[in-house]
Amino acid sequence: MRGQNRLCRMMRSPRSLLGSLLAVLLVATGAIAQMASERVPELSGPPTEMGEVVVEPMPKWVVDDARKERAYPDQPPVIPHSIEGYQLSVNTNRCLSCHKRELTQESGAPMISVTHYMTREGQMLADVSPRRYFCTACHVPQADVRPLVGNTFRDMSEMGVGHAGSE
């Protein structure tokens, strides 16, 4: 009963309740800030003067239209031409103007995979599946640059694994 009276009194005086909440918030913020300064390392480093920064030129795109060998099975093929200025939105997909099944005869471009015309359940569709509509989610153009990370990938055939039945 006594605790209920105290709560009722605090509810009657909103100023004291607000004051208590602000005090708790202030103490909690200070404690968190002190803990963060002890545990979180400085990420930005020492302040430096602003000045001129040398910027590397934009890399040139590989635009030789040559199909590239894939590094592993089911790797999405890279785009061997420039796609600068291509519109790729919910309403328009310029890639499909050449790579769609019906248009490859005229354009000479490779047809997109039949898997792009399937639902997740394997049901064939008359048009490109909405989940495969945004080409650049998987396919990327190549720039003529030095790799950021060295590649140590080796194909299975280089590792001494032969084709099935090749004994």
pLDDT digits (tens, 9 = 90+) for 85-99: 888 888 899 999 999
Same domain, 81 and 120: yes
pLDDT of residue 8: 58
Instruction: Report the distance separating Cα 167 and Cα 104, nearest Å.
Output: 40
Number of folded domains in the chain?
2
Residue 103 forms part of a structural domain: yes
Residue 140: which domain range? 61-147
Higher pLDDT, 24 or 114: 114
Closest Cα partner for 79 from 87, 92, 94, 67?
67
pTM for this structure? 0.56
Q: What residues pair up with 124 in beta bridges, in sequence order? A: 118
Q: What CATH number has the domain bearing residue 71?
A: 1.10.1130.10
Task: Establish if 143 belongs to a structural domain.
Answer: yes
The Cα 66–Cα 79 span in angstroms is 9
Q: Calculate mean pLDDT across residues 41-47.
A: 68
Instruction: For residue 101, give the nearest of 71, 124, 69 by alpha carbon.
Output: 124
**Rounded-to-integer distance, Cα 56 and Cα 149, Å:** 18
Phi and psi, residue 92, nearest 5°? -140, 140
Label residue 119 by pLDDT band (50, 70, 90): very high
pLDDT given at position 36: 61
Mark whether 35 and 65 lie in a shared domain: no
**71 lies in the same domain as 131:** yes
Task: Please state the rounded mean pLDDT for residues 123-134.
Answer: 92
